[in-house]
Amino acid sequence: MKVLFWVLVAMGLQIPPASATDMLHIDLVPDATNPRSAQMGDNLIFHTQIRNDGAAAAEGLIVWISLIRIDQGAEQPVDLEDWSAQKAVTAASLAPGQSLSTDWPMRLIQAGSYRVLVSATSRNGAGLVASPFADFTVRQKPVVESNRVLPIAIGLPLLIAGGMIWQRRVN
């Protein structure tokens, strides 16, 4: 690697200094209390720690969470507004060696397989930094199907009322 550096220097090429986002590091960890087998209506929490490992401050830091559905044939980004998730966190500056911790609560509203990640950039950064993925699956919440319950809910009282009327006519 050193040889390549000196070859580039000898050729007169300049290597740009690392930007503030090049030195950011994001850890993403699901909360220990998250349900092992999540279903619709459950709440999950993800924790992040954004750390500046560089020599320069990251100015105008913006951090956001993204959710992606990864079911085969239904791959797409998810609108977090429906999932009651916090969308972004900002910080005026993140000094070298400093960390920013954030919790990302999320209410599960649709069954499927998902991938969550957290991204960051800064005003003085040259790019985007992303966390590792955290995958999870949401099970369908058991619900009562009206086409099974409605006939019984209406039919049983009608049957009882009909029996009572028939018994009064017989007596």
Model pLDDT for residues 58-104, shown as the tens digit of each residue: 999 999 999 999 999 999 999 888 787 787 999 999 999 999 999 99
pLDDT number for residue 21: 54
* Nearest residue to 107 (alpha-carbon basis) of 155, 19, 41: 41
Instruction: Please report which confidence band the pLDDT of residue 164 belongs to, taking 50, 70 and 90 as the band edges.
Output: confident
Element holding 65 (H helix, E strand): strand 58-69
Residue 18 has pLDDT above 50, yes or no: no
For 94, the token pair is: 């993140």
pLDDT number for residue 154: 78
Tell me the CB-side half-sphere exposure of residue 36, using CA atoms within 13 A: 0
Within 10 angstroms of residue 110's Cβ, the number of other Cβ atoms is 12
pLDDT number for residue 158: 80
pLDDT number for residue 8: 40
Instruction: Please report which confidence band the pLDDT of residue 9 belongs to, taking 50, 70 and 90 as the band edges.
Output: very low
Could you give phi then psi for residue 36, rounded to 5 degrees? -65, -35
Please give the Cα distance from 47 to 27 (Å, whole number).
Answer: 8
Residue 129 has pLDDT above 70, yes or no: yes
* Nearest residue to 25 (alpha-carbon basis) of 3, 4, 5, 54: 54
Q: Per residue in 77-104, is it b (16+ CB within 10 Å) or e — as a string?
A: ebebeebebeeebebeebeeeeebebeb
pLDDT number for residue 146: 65
pLDDT number for residue 145: 63
Could you give phi then psi for residue 19, rounded to 5 degrees? -85, 175
Please give the Cα distance from 131 to 29 (Å, whole number).
Answer: 10
- Model confidence, pTM: 0.70
Beta carbons within 8 Å of 96's beta carbon, 6+ residues apart: 23, 52, 53, 54, 55, 56, 57
pLDDT number for residue 3: 41
